[in-house]
Amino acid sequence: MAPPVLPQAPARRVKLLKTEVSRRTAWILRAASILVPLAGWWALSVSGVVEDTFLPSPPAVWSAGMAMVESGDLPNDLLASLGRIGAGFGLAVLIAVPLGFAMGTLGWAQPLLEPVIGILRYLPASAFIPLLIIWLGIGEVSKIALLVLGVVFFNTLMTADAVRQVPARLLEVSAILGAGRARVAARVVFPYALPGILDAMRVNAAAAWNFVVVAELIAATSGLGYRITRAQRFLQTDRIFAILIVIGLIGLTIDITLRLLRSRVGRWAQ
Amino acid sequence: MSLRLIDVSREYVAGKPVLSGIDLAIEPGEFVTVVGASGSGKSTLLCLIAGLARPTTGQVLLDGQEVLGPGPDRGMAFQTASLYPWRSVARNVAFGLEAMGVPRDVRDERVRWLLDEVGLTAFAGTLPGKLSGGQQQRVSIARALACQPRVLLLDEPFGALDVQTKEDMQLFIRQIWQDVGTTVVMVTHDVEEAVFLGQRVLVLSSDPGRISQDIQVDLPEPRTLTVRRSAEFLALRARVEDLVRAEHRAHQALNGHAG
């Protein structure tokens, strides 16, 4: 049978989907990513199209921020918020990592825990605020509980995923070398999964930082979220802007710290 | 070490044995190679000896003791080196010794000897990711030998290497076997390799896997590259190739593939 004939394939130059730029271009683009929106904001606020009360100018925001620093409000609020994320996120990680580890390794833990966690993680943590206040009051405990609720389920499932990435072959090799389950867990599974566990923490730290501010918007007497609601009462949009910028910068710092930690721990994976 | 398999069969799906009626005795210090078409269950055979799987019927005996699970009295290396990527070469080799609770000085000494034996002393502190495929496989074999296993099981260990490296590794594994004196059972799909390395070649049939031929290889020792060009070698290779090809055709026909 003769093969069906096709028209000759075109000598077209096909481009790859993924492209790269030089390091220099990358840095210029990074700078533009911050400076262009900043310039746009500045131009809009100076143009007078939008009232100052709605959109304060960058210098106004800067001086509002400095005023809050000098009065001591901003440092105090910052410490209060950081304390909450430290306690809440830390607790969530302490619960999530062992649970996820169990789900990723023990045959019975996966079918036992996955359905309930799968449902719980779709319940918006913010919707629990009224309930948490009824149960735990408006003090620190309810805020930390919100943080834990918002993060712990995702972090558990993501940890379990990281743990499941350990190749079965590596576990078999370890058993043949005489390593029992505890040794394999500590010396094989944990080191192999650690970079993935830290990745999961990095993603969830961002969520945790959001929940701190949300918790403080509702009922608090300190913290960055509380400072925003106070500023709103007096229509101090310049202060709100300043606090939002601080929130963004802290988030970025958390992200970079965890990223550095991850690349140190996961050096072998590169 | 003597290894005995008595009427061993293994099913993953009930009624469809991968291996069936395997009777096998391997004497201490023997180098046995196993070839077979796909579906002959040759990797399963190694898994049963390693204790990674249990036979559906029959027994695997190591020095008269039934194999009930994996353990350091057997060493195993696979096609993928499966090293611990965060551990240095030396610490990879040391893993089994750590698990055995061998004192540090003895451990260090043994690791040093093994690294010397596999020619990787200069790479003791290197991470596996920085090594070539052949070097990684050497580490994997050194790690498998660390606990002084009674039998070394090799599952297509050179299958992923380029031709030149593979040739080096074949001479290397022969040398190791002579120096260490352990029993070796090696599975391969490469008939030339099986005949060149084995003192004995087992040919498995497919559907289910059975030992169809048990061939004594009377080629001169040591096996040098000259042996590989001798008429006896070539004749034996052709014979085993024909056996494996026949099994392959039968397997394809049974599974409805065109030859």
Q: Are A170 and B76 within 8 A, CB to CB?
A: no
Determine the residue of chain A that is closest to B79 in CA distance: A169
Residue B221 has what pLDDT?
Answer: 85
Residues B45 and B92 in one domain: no
Residues B188 and B135 in one domain: no
Q: What is chain A's Cα-based Rg?
A: 25
Q: Are A173 and B127 within 8 A, CB to CB?
A: no
CA of residue B43 relative to chain centroid, distance: 9
E strand intervals along B41-182: 57-62, 65-66, 74-77, 151-155
B19 part of a folded domain: no
Determine the residue of chain B that is closest to A167 in CA distance: B82
Select from A173, A183, A187 the Cβ nearest to the Cβ of B82: A173
Question: Of B148, B182, B207, at which residue does a domain stop?
Answer: B148
Select from A169, A176, A268 the Cβ nearest to the Cβ of B74: A176
pLDDT tens for B53-77 read 999 999 999 998 999 999 999 999 9
Coil, strand or helix at B19 = strand
Q: Do B219 and B194 touch, CB atoms closer than 8 A?
A: no
Total number of domains in chain A: 1
Residue A108 vs residue B252, higher pLDDT: A108
Q: Are A180 and B147 within 8 A, CB to CB?
A: no
What pLDDT band is residue A103 in, cutting at 50, 70 and 90?
Answer: very high
Residue B225: name the closest of B171, B159, B165 by CA: B171
DSSP secondary structure code for residue B223 in this structure: -
Given a cut of 80, whether residue B256 has pLDDT beyond it is: no
Q: What is the largest CA-CA distance in chain B?
A: 60
CA B231, CA B126: separation in Å to the nearest integer?
43
pLDDT tens for A61-88 read 999 999 999 999 999 999 999 999 999 9
Residues B127 and B165 in one domain: no
Which phi and psi (to 5°) does residue A210 adopt?
Answer: -60, -45
CA B151, CA A115: separation in Å to the nearest integer?
45
Looking at beta carbons, which residues of chain A come within 8 Å of B99? 177-180, 183
Residue B258 has what pLDDT?
Answer: 54
Select from A169, A178, A269 the Cβ nearest to the Cβ of B78: A169
What pLDDT band is residue B31 in, cutting at 50, 70 and 90?
Answer: very high
Segments forming the whole domain that contains residue A98: 60-269
Residues B129 and B160 in one domain: no
Question: Of B97, B116, B148, at which residue does a domain stop?
Answer: B148
Instruction: Kindly provide the ipTM of the predicted complex, given to two decimals.
Output: 0.90
Given a cut of 90, whether residue B42 has pLDDT beyond it is: no
Provide, rounded to the nearest whole percent, the portion of chain B with pLDDT above 90.
64
B212 part of a folded domain: yes
E strand intervals along chain B: 3-13, 16-26, 31-36, 57-62, 65-66, 74-77, 151-155, 183-187, 200-205, 210-216
Q: CA of B200: how far to CAs of A32, B37, B64, B240, in Å?
A: 70, 18, 22, 12
What pLDDT band is residue A194 in, cutting at 50, 70 and 90?
Answer: very high
Q: Are A180 and B99 within 8 A, CB to CB?
A: yes
A24 part of a folded domain: no
Q: Are B69 and A175 within 8 A, CB to CB?
A: yes
Select from B51, B85, B96 the Cβ nearest to the Cβ of A177: B96
Tell me the two tokens of residue A80.
């209060």
Compute the mean pLDDT over every residue in chain B, rounded to the nearest whole number.
90
pTM of the model: 0.86
Residue A229 belongs to domain with CATH number: 1.10.3720.10
Determine the residue of chain A that is closest to B146 in CA distance: A177
Select from A167, A169, A177 the Cβ nearest to the Cβ of B95: A177
What pLDDT band is residue B40 in, cutting at 50, 70 and 90?
Answer: confident
A132 part of a folded domain: yes
**H helix intervals, A106-189:** 109-120, 129-136, 140-164, 168-176, 181-184
Q: How far is B240 from chain A (nearest CA, A)?
A: 30
Residues B160 and B50 in one domain: yes
Sheet with B3-13, strands from edge to edge, namely B16-26, B3-13, B57-62, B65-66
Span A126-130, average pLDDT = 87
Q: Are A179 and B99 within 8 A, CB to CB?
A: yes
Q: How far is A184 from chain B (nearest CA, A)?
A: 10
Residue B124 has what pLDDT?
Answer: 94
Q: Do B66 and B57 touch, CB atoms closer than 8 A?
A: no
Residues B164 and B252 in one domain: yes
Residue B259 has what pLDDT?
Answer: 45
Residue B1 has what pLDDT?
Answer: 57
Q: Are A175 and B86 within 8 A, CB to CB?
A: no
Q: Do A243 and A231 touch, CB atoms closer than 8 A?
A: yes
Residue B165 belongs to domain with CATH number: 3.40.50.300
B122 burial type by CB count under 10 A (0-12 exposed, 13-18 middle, 19+ buried): exposed
A182 touches chain B (CB under 8 A): no
Rounded to the nearest 10 degrees, the angle between the axes of helix A73-105 and helix A109-120 is 140
- Cα angle A141, A144, A145; round to 5: 80
Total number of domains in chain B: 2
- Cα angle A5, A9, A13; round to 5: 170
Q: CA of A121: how far to CAs of A152, A156, A165, A212, in Å?
A: 8, 10, 22, 18
A191 touches chain B (CB under 8 A): yes
pLDDT tens for B193-221 read 999 999 999 999 887 888 888 989 988 88
Least confident interval from A93-107, B97-111, B158-172:
B158-172
Q: Are B147 and A178 within 8 A, CB to CB?
A: yes
Q: How far is B155 from chain A (nearest CA, A)?
A: 12
Segments forming the whole domain that contains residue B160: 29-54+152-259
Cα-Cα-Cα-Cα dihedral sign, residues B186, B189, B195, B196: negative
CA B48, CA B8: separation in Å to the nearest integer?
9
Residue A61 has what pLDDT?
Answer: 92
Size of the A and B interface in Cβ pairs below 8 Å: 62
Question: Of B127, B148, B169, at which residue does a domain stop?
Answer: B148
Q: Are A169 and B85 within 8 A, CB to CB?
A: no
Looking at beta carbons, which residues of chain A come within 8 Å of B144? 176-177
CA A188, CA A172: separation in Å to the nearest integer?
11
Looking at beta carbons, which residues of chain A come within 8 Å of B95? 174, 177, 179, 187
Select from B51, B82, B85 the Cβ nearest to the Cβ of A268: B85
Determine the residue of chain B that is closest to A172 in CA distance: B52
CA B190, CA B213: separation in Å to the nearest integer?
16
pLDDT tens for A240-258 read 999 999 999 999 999 999 9
A174 touches chain B (CB under 8 A): yes
Task: Give the mutation candidate from B67, B86, B97 for the A interface (greatest A CB count, under 10 A).
Answer: B86
Q: How far is B235 from chain A (nearest CA, A)?
A: 37
B96 part of a folded domain: yes
Residues B178 and B132 in one domain: no
B188 burial type by CB count under 10 A (0-12 exposed, 13-18 middle, 19+ buried): buried
A133 part of a folded domain: yes
CA atoms within 13 A on the CB side of A78: 17
Residue B233: name the closest of B203, B189, B197, B258 by CA: B197
Residues B140 and B157 in one domain: no
Name residue, tokens 């996966």: A110
Residue B137 has what pLDDT?
Answer: 93
Task: Give the mutation candidate from B82, B100, B150 for the A interface (greatest A CB count, under 10 A).
Answer: B82
